[in-house]
């Protein structure tokens, strides 16, 4: 919000006035109201800890604001990236031009667990493998946005984007009278349109039947699954509700079997089909892959889409954009060292205490080393891990993430934030007019993940 | 509608109904404990346990039957599958799975109830808090039922109401039975003042005391009360009312007409009989026998519904 030490960026003026008028008492009341609201609607998540099964994510009352022109640039950049990632998937599961052109080494792709052999030679409807992509962005002090990570499988968090806005509108209606905030509540409709535009070849209906496939109530994103299916008006199914007969996929209803055209799956590849992936899996729908490959059903995202958000592939996304789209990347990557390259590895080992090291298959802020914040012993531990398995890691500089004003014990303090907007690609490519802003609530912290003390904020895009 | 969704909806309203019945039963025990305890009567708390079907579980856990422990067992105990706490927990967990078939209002009604009972559970309560707990439960269940009016009148709605009336039919029948065979073990008391007093308590426990006064003139007699609770289709807790509503919501289902007809055929006779029967002939036949048959019938309807629609 601050341009320099004390100068407030223009578009935050309104919010600043509003903040100054709020008393500590009102802030406390509103915080309690938000917490009760989140508990009542059940927007909770599970953590790895056994003790607190249902937690709510801390919500910060101060919105994060983007101007129209700031957002327009992000929008173009994210859509460009999402298109390139889909083109990459279509390529590697077919001709593999990018490998023939020596841009990406083939062992980086074919040896990955997330590369799905059974997808070889099959192209899903409209060549879209990953119709919902969440791109994690950070701003550094140069006022420039960098891509930290791509999420091409089943990015979550969109329910927070929508519910954060709902609670803000409910608690502070006046703010929305005085600020022209672009609405986001049409996201579920757009998601449904996207899914419907991806009907399989053998579907004749103009209104394909879509379902959301969830692993069940114990999954940490379960609230989001039920929220989205409810908002879209589609069934939320578990794998036991589905079965394959002949060339099609059906769900068990009180009225007998009903054909399903598009499955928006929120479960991992390996639990999709025990006949194809994990024979020991008790969940999954036997035969769904056969139906999929013969055009009886579409699975969104496609099995094997995860290879595109692998952290080792991430390094090559700017190259992909040039290769497939013939364009210059609008959004840059964060500088990244791939530890499988000898030169990079040497550099990383020499500078471990200044770098952030991540597992290429890791997520949720687990299994990473933040060099400047770590003890000697954990740095040495990572040195050993890197030397034995260099291919499993990448390293990045510790970014000076931008701060956003955050209420901490009723005082406004700066806390580090990132941003995940959601990109939809079906018949059209479009970006949500907002996103999920995650905030590291602890002073000095760089980790915004909700599993590790991160909070969330409403994210505004001002209308032109 | 998914079969699993239908099943969960059916059970949500069963659990909510059961929570109310158990809370009302506790209230019956509480009221009876305020009256002098004459010889020949079982301990009122034992009858309450029996009526709730929880006596075996309770005895496995406690050696003596006393108010505070019974209250705790029936209201909060996690070991008792039918405790108010467990009913609300189960209803809420089911609702979580099928909230897409609910309106936000009905989800909120259940989830708020759950959030509140978690808090109630952490407060130590006194025996004299019981009327408040009962009142709270009834209020919450009413909130839930009220929220159902916001639902689409589709099959989900009918499955919810099927669950509600199957559970209520079973609960009302059991309460009637308990009145006859647990509260009054000695036949010579039947028709006496104490007998009538206990019938009145039964009416209160079924939220029907005032309604009964308006429906029948003159003295409170056990025959009139039996008529009210078994045959009077104006009384929303009578066996007759429940069975009519089971038939109504069953035949309103638009899915699988042949399954509906199949289940309806097994119910038709009972439904006709209960509309035409006179209370005198039921009493002659034996109220207990009548009620036992009724409970069997409801239970077989329940298993038919589960078998036909949920598997």
What's the CA gap between A290 and A247, in Å, rounded?
Answer: 8
* A-B contacts at Cβ under 8 angstroms: 59
Residue A323 lies in a domain: yes
Lowest mean pLDDT among A107-121, A195-209, A273-287: A273-287
Give pLDDT, residue B15: 97
Chain B nearest-CA residue for A217: B97
Chain B nearest-CA residue for A242: B2
Residue A438 lies in a domain: yes
Helix (H) or strand (E) holding B238: none
Alpha carbon separation from B155 to A52, A57, B256 (Å, rounded):
36, 36, 11
* Co-location of A438 and A355 in the same domain: no
Give pLDDT, residue B211: 86
Contacts of A249 in chain B (CB under 8 A): none
> For A3, left (φ over 0), alpha (ψ -120 to 50), or beta?
alpha
* Co-location of A135 and A268 in the same domain: yes
Give pLDDT, residue A151: 94
Is the bond into A345 cis (omega within 30 degrees of 0)?
Answer: no
Contacts of B9 in chain A (CB under 8 A): none
Give pLDDT, residue A267: 93
Residue A2 lies in a domain: no
Token pair for A59: 């919500």
* Co-location of A243 and A100 in the same domain: yes
* Co-location of A72 and A216 in the same domain: yes
Asked if A314 and A279 touch (Cβ cutoff 8 Å), the reply is no
From A382, A398, A414, the end of a domain falls on: A398
Q: How far is A183 from chain B (nearest CA, A)?
A: 21
What's the CA gap between B207 and B235, in Å, rounded?
Answer: 10
pLDDT in tens, B212-255: 888 888 777 778 888 998 999 999 999 999 999 999 999 999 98
Whether residue A107 has pLDDT greater than 70: yes
Of B3, B93, B99, the CB nearest to A253: B3
* Co-location of A273 and A347 in the same domain: no
Instruction: Give the residue carrying structure tokens 């009989």.
Output: B273
Domain that holds residue A265: 10-334+399-461
Instruction: Give the residue carrying structure tokens 């209606």.
Output: A173
Instruction: Give the residue carrying structure tokens 């190259």.
Output: A319
Contacts of B93 in chain A (CB under 8 A): 217
* Co-location of A380 and A247 in the same domain: no
* Mean pLDDT across chain A: 89
Whether residue A237 has pLDDT greater than 90: yes
Contacts of A41 in chain B (CB under 8 A): 104, 107-108, 111
Alpha carbon separation from B243 to B52, B225, B267 (Å, rounded):
21, 18, 8
Whether residue B307 has pLDDT greater than 80: yes
Of B97, B100, B108, the CB nearest to A217: B97
Chain B nearest-CA residue for A233: B100
What's the CA gap between A400 and A440, in Å, rounded?
Answer: 13
Chain A nearest-CA residue for B102: A230
Residue A153 lies in a domain: yes
Task: State the pLDDT confidence band at A46, using cuts at 50, 70 and 90.
Answer: low
Q: Which of residues 226-265 of A touch B (CB under 8 A)?
A: 226, 229-230, 235-238, 240-241, 251-256
Instruction: Give the residue carrying structure tokens 């289709």.
Output: B233
Please work out, in degrees rounded to the nearest 5, the angle formed at the alpha carbon of residue A369 by the alpha carbons of A366 and A372. Answer: 140
Token pair for A259: 């054909």
Give pLDDT, residue B73: 94
Give pLDDT, residue A12: 86
* Co-location of A147 and A269 in the same domain: yes
* Co-location of A390 and A416 in the same domain: no
Whether residue A51 has pLDDT greater than 50: no
Q: Which of residues 138-197 of A touch B (CB under 8 A)?
A: none
Strands (E), A254-368: 256-260, 262-265, 298-300, 332-333, 337-338, 355-359
Helix residue spans in A351-435 (DSSP H):
376-388
Alpha carbon separation from A80 to A75, A198, A326, A407 (Å, rounded):
8, 20, 11, 35
Over residues A140-148, mean pLDDT: 82
Are residues B108 and A255, on separate chains, in Cβ contact within 8 Å? no
Per CB distance under 8 Å, which residues of B are interface residues toward A?
A: 1-6, 93, 96-97, 99-100, 104, 107-108, 111-112, 115, 155, 159, 253-256, 309
Of A41, A226, A255, the CB nearest to B100: A226
What's the CA gap between B252 and A303, in Å, rounded?
Answer: 42
Task: State the pLDDT confidence band at A364, using cuts at 50, 70 and 90.
Answer: low
Chain B nearest-CA residue for A219: B97
Helix (H) or strand (E) holding A177: helix A173-178
pLDDT in tens, B107-155: 999 999 999 998 888 887 776 788 899 999 999 999 999 999 999 999 9
Are residues B2 and A40, on separate chains, in Cβ contact within 8 Å? no
What's the CA gap between A326 and A309, in Å, rounded?
Answer: 21
* Co-location of A102 and A212 in the same domain: yes
Chain B nearest-CA residue for A232: B100
Over residues B155-176, mean pLDDT: 93
Give pLDDT, residue A5: 52
Residue A439 lies in a domain: yes
Are residues B96 and A39, on separate chains, in Cβ contact within 8 Å? no
Are residues B255 and A217, on separate chains, in Cβ contact within 8 Å? no
Of B5, B99, B256, the CB nearest to A256: B256
For residue A280, give the DSSP letter. Answer: T
Whether residue B188 has pLDDT greater than 70: no
Asked if A286 and A240 touch (Cβ cutoff 8 Å), the reply is no
**How many C-alpha atoms does B66 have within 13 Å on its Cβ side?**
6
* Co-location of A412 and A383 in the same domain: no
Asked if A50 and A400 touch (Cβ cutoff 8 Å), the reply is no
Which of A207-221, B165-179, B180-194 is modeled with the greatest confidence?
A: A207-221
Asked if A320 and A281 touch (Cβ cutoff 8 Å), the reply is no
Task: State the pLDDT confidence band at B185, using cuts at 50, 70 and 90.
Answer: very low
Are residues A41 and B111, on separate chains, in Cβ contact within 8 Å? yes
Of A39, A217, A253, the CB nearest to B2: A253
Q: Which residue has the higher pLDDT, B60 or A392?
A: B60
Of A39, A236, A254, the CB nearest to B100: A236
3-state secondary structure of A71: helix
Chain A nearest-CA residue for B257: A255
Domain count, chain A: 2
Please work out, in degrees rounded to the nearest 5, the angle formed at the alpha carbon of residue B186 by the alpha carbons of B185 and B188. Answer: 150
Over residues A212-228, mean pLDDT: 90
* Co-location of A311 and A343 in the same domain: no
Give pLDDT, residue A234: 94
Are residues A254 and B115, on separate chains, in Cβ contact within 8 Å? no
Helix (H) or strand (E) holding B42: none
Whether residue B27 has pLDDT greater than 60: yes
Asked if A386 and A6 touch (Cβ cutoff 8 Å), the reply is no
Give pLDDT, residue A43: 81
Share of chain A above pLDDT 70, in %: 95
Whether residue A242 has pLDDT greater than 90: yes
From A398, A423, A449, the end of a domain falls on: A398
Of A40, A240, A254, the CB nearest to B256: A254
Contacts of B107 in chain A (CB under 8 A): 41-42
- Measured in whole angstroms, how far is the alpha carbon of residue B241 from the centre of its chain? 13
Are residues A217 and B96, on separate chains, in Cβ contact within 8 Å? yes
pLDDT in tens, A409-448: 888 888 999 999 999 999 999 999 999 999 998 888 877 8
Most B-contacting residue of A54, A254, A256 (CB-CB within 10 A), to test interface: A254
Instruction: CATH number of the domain at A373, please.
Output: 3.30.1490.270
Give pLDDT, residue B182: 52
Lowest mean pLDDT among A285-299, B93-107, B204-218: B204-218
Q: How do beta strands A393-397 and A355-359 pair?
A: antiparallel
With 0.95 as the threshold, say if the pTM is over it: no
Task: State the pLDDT confidence band at B40, using cuts at 50, 70 and 90.
Answer: very low
pLDDT in tens, B74-116: 999 999 999 999 999 999 999 988 888 888 889 999 999 999 9
Of A40, A240, A251, the CB nearest to B112: A40
* Co-location of A209 and A321 in the same domain: yes
What's the CA gap between B145 and B148, in Å, rounded?
Answer: 5
Helix residue spans in A294-375 (DSSP H):
311-314, 317-320, 342-350
Are residues B6 and A41, on separate chains, in Cβ contact within 8 Å? no
Asked if B193 and B250 touch (Cβ cutoff 8 Å), the reply is no
What's the CA gap between B183 and B190, in Å, rounded?
Answer: 11
């Amino acid at each position: 919000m601050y341009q320099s030490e004390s100068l407030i960026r223009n578009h935050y003026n309104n919010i600043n006035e509003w903040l100054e008028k709020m008393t500590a008492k009102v802030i406390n009341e509103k915080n309690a109201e938000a917490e009760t609201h989140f508990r009542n609607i059940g927007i909770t998540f599970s953590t790895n800890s056994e003790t607190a099964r249902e937690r709510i994510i801390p919500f910060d009352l101060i919105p994060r604001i983007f101007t129209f022109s700031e957002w327009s640039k992000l929008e173009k950049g994210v859509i460009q990236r999402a298109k390139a990632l889909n083109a990459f998937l279509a390529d590697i599961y077919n001709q593999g031009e990018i490998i023939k052109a020596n841009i990406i080494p083939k062992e980086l792709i074919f040896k990955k667990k997330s590369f799905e052999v059974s997808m070889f030679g099959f192209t899903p409807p409209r060549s879209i493998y990953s119709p919902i992509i969440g791109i994690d962005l950070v701003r550094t002090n140069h006022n420039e946005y960098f891509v930290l990570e791509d999420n091409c499988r089943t990015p979550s968090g969109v329910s927070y984007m929508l519910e954060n806005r709902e609670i803000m509108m409910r608690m502070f209606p006046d703010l929305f009278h005085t600020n022209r905030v672009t609405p986001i509540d049409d996201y579920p409709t757009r998601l449904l349109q996207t899914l419907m535009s991806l009907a399989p070849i053998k579907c004749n209906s103009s209104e394909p039947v879509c379902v959301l496939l969830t692993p069940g109530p114990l999954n940490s994103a379960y609230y989001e699954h039920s929220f989205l299916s409810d908002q879209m008006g589609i069934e939320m199914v578990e794998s036991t509700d589905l079965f394959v007969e002949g060339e099609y996929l059906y769900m068990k209803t009180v009225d007998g079997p009903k054909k399903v055209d598009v499955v928006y799956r929120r479960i991992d590849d390996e639990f999709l089909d025990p006949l194809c992936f994990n024979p020991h899996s008790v969940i999954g729908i036997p035969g769904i892959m056969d139906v999929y490959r013969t055009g009886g059903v579409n699975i969104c995202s496609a099995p094997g889409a995860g290879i595109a958000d692998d952290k080792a592939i991430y390094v090559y996304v700017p190259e992909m954009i040039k290769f497939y789209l013939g364009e210059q990347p609008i959004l840059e990557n964060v500088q990244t060292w791939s530890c499988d390259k000898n030169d990079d590895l040497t550099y990383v080992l020499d500078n471990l205490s200044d770098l952030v090291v991540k597992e290429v298959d890791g997520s949720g802020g687990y299994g990473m080393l933040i060099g400047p914040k770590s003890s000697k012993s954990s740095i040495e531990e990572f040195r050993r891990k890197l030397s034995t398995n260099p291919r499993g890691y990448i390293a990045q500089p510790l970014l000076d993430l931008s701060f956003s004003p955050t209420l901490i014990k009723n005082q406004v303090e700066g806390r580090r934030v990132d941003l995940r907007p959601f990109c939809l690609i079906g018949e059209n490519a479009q970006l949500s007019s907002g996103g999920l802003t995650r905030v590291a609530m602890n002073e000095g912290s760089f980790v915004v993940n909700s599993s590790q003390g991160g909070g969330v904020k409403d994210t505004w895009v001002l209308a032109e | 509608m998914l079969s699993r969704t239908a099943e969960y909806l059916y059970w949500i309203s069963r659990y909510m109904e059961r929570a109310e019945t158990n809370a009302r039963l506790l209230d019956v025990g509480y009221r009876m404990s305020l009256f002098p305890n004459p010889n020949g009567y079982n301990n009122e708390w034992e009858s309450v346990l029996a009526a709730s079907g929880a006596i075996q579980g309770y005895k496995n856990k406690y050696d003596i039957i006393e108010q505070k422990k019974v209250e705790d067992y029936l209201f909060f105990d996690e070991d008792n599958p039918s405790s108010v706490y467990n009913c609300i927990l189960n209803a809420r967990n089911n609702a979580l799975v099928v909230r897409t078939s609910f309106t936000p209002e009905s989800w909120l009604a259940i989830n708020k109830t759950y959030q509140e009972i978690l808090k109630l559970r952490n407060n130590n309560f006194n025996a004299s808090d019981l009327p408040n707990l009962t009142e709270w439960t009834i209020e919450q269940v009413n909130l839930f039922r009220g929220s159902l009016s916001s639902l689409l009148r589709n099959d989900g709605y009918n499955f919810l109401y099927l669950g509600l009336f199957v559970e209520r039919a079973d609960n009302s029948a059991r309460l009637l039975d308990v009145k006859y065979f647990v509260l009054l073990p000695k036949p010579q008391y039947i028709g006496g003042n104490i007998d009538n007093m206990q019938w009145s308590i039964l009416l209160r426990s079924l939220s029907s005391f005032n309604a009964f006064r308006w429906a029948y003139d003159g003295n409170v007699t056990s025959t009139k009360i039996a008529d009210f609770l078994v045959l009077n289709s104006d009384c929303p807790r009578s066996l007759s009312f429940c069975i009519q509503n089971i038939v109504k919501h069953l035949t309103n289902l638009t899915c699988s007409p042949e399954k509906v007809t199949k289940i309806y055929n097994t119910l038709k006779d009972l439904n006709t009989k209960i509309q035409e029967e006179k209370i005198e002939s039921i009493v002659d036949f034996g109220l207990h026998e009548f009620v036992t048959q009724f409970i069997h019938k409801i239970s077989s309807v329940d298993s038919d519904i589960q078998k036909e629609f949920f598997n």
